A and B are shown apart, each in its own frame.
Chain A
Amino acid sequence: MSALDLAAAAVRRWTRWYSAGLPPSVRDRRLAELESDLWEHRAEARALGLGERGTAVAVLWRMVRGMPADLTWRLQLGGMAMTSTRGIERSSGLVMLLMVLLFAGGLSGPGIGSSEPYFTEDFPALVADRGDHLRAVVFQFLAAGAVIAAAWLLYVTFRTPSPAAARFGGIALATAGVLFLGAAVAAARLYLLADDWSSGGVPGDAAWRSAKTAAEIYSTLAFFGGFAFLASFGAFGMLFARRRVLPRPLGWLGLAGGALAILSLLVLGAGVSTGWYFMMLGLLVVFVAFALTAAWLVVRGVAHPEAQPPAL
């Protein structure tokens, strides 16, 4: 299966998901229009002699950019009755699991440091492994889309027990998704520049300098995206721990990860480079908390507030 087939399959799956539960005539029409669009996009790319990978990235990018409009269209047509409460919970869990897996894929490419001496060491290695880098970029785009979708789903899932925490967590997670999307765009640009540089570039030339700028943008956006990501789980962790909608240890785990990450910022701010280890450990803990929460949402769902003592 080619990269373009995979991209088309992702568009179909996404369209089937957000149009689920609509009247068949509306749903079938949207699916058929997207099918025609994908066919025309592929046909035009072929006629223009464009590469399959580049076209696949363009198709995925169109899907990701259209996601907010897809979701608002769906809400306008069907409101929150899109699926049952249990269905939303299960979807939240599945999207979160997908997000964790996609993040793992996004981290699989060659690393790139934006400061010296790391950039000078890392960029030639990235040029040599640019195929792996491109694969990681595709994962990063998909992961960013999954983060945005998870933000919306988690907000819908938890807004009844705690509207403020759900709103803060949802906004923080959506912000993280947008920042990750920006980082993925910078990573895609880095791939194009690496490709240019591979044909006879020398350290310090224009492509090299542009690549360094792209690496700096990537690092900055990924860093702030990571911070927003941790802040979101801080809010959801607090919600789980206080409202007992999910097992409390899940909330504590998320809060512990967030605390570790904040501690790492303070340590890094004090100029101690081992702060990165705290940051990585914090992210690892939050990812484990995310994965366990996701699994719980899929299998058991949320304990609804009717069964709970009065709100705190």
Chain B
Amino acid sequence: MRRKPGTLILIERSILEAATDFARRGEPEFHGYAVAGEIREREGARRLTGHGTLYKALDRLERAGLLASRWEDPDVAASEGRPRRRLYRLTAEGERALAAAREREAAPVARLRPGRSAT
């Protein structure tokens, strides 16, 4: 089933929300496992997002221009004795897409208000 262009599915929305949380905390770049952990915390979930679900969604968001990514400096990874991280950051387009998704979500509530106040 094809979805409407410009809409975000749940996992994409969760990733973008997590990305804004990272940015708010002064960490504009994040890696895959970190975003899985952030989603678990934000949503009070018991488990981390599945590997395929997470990396497919990150790939899709990057192709759509909502995220950008780069490989971490290999020297940094080597100095910490771990594999290199792929670092993602939210783009301006990603911020706009998230704002639009939030607006769409809030819209039905706004339409209900006049009816509710009349009763």
Residues of A within 8 A of B (CB): 11, 15, 29-30, 32-37, 39-41, 43-44, 58, 61-73
Contact = CB atoms under 8 A, between A and B. Distances in A.
A69 B83 contact: no
Interface of B: 31-34, 36-37, 47-57, 59, 82-86
Contact of B34 (A40, A62, A69, A70): A40
B48 A33 contact: no
B56 A36 contact: no
B17 to A, nearest CB: 19
Contact of B55 (A33, A40, A71): A33
B52 A68 contact: yes
20 contacts: A29-B86, A32-B83, A32-B84, A34-B51, A34-B55, A36-B31, A36-B32, A36-B82, A36-B86, A37-B33, A37-B36, A40-B33, A58-B47, A62-B49, A62-B51, A63-B51, A65-B50, A66-B55, A71-B52, A73-B52
Contact of A69 (B31, B52, B84, B85): B52
Contacts of A36: 31-33, 82-86
Contacts of A34: 51, 55
B37 A67 contact: no
Given A39-B82, A40-B31, A43-B82, A62 B48 contact: yes
Nearest to A35: B83
Contacts of B59: 73
A307 B86 CA distance: 49
A70 B47 contact: no
Given A36-B31, A40-B34, A43-B82, 6 more contacts: A29-B86, A35-B83, A36-B86, A37-B51, A39-B83, A66-B50
Nearest to B60: A73
B80 to A, nearest CB: 10
A70 B56 contact: yes
B33 A69 contact: no
Contacts of A40: 31, 33-34, 82, 85
B70 to A, nearest CB: 11
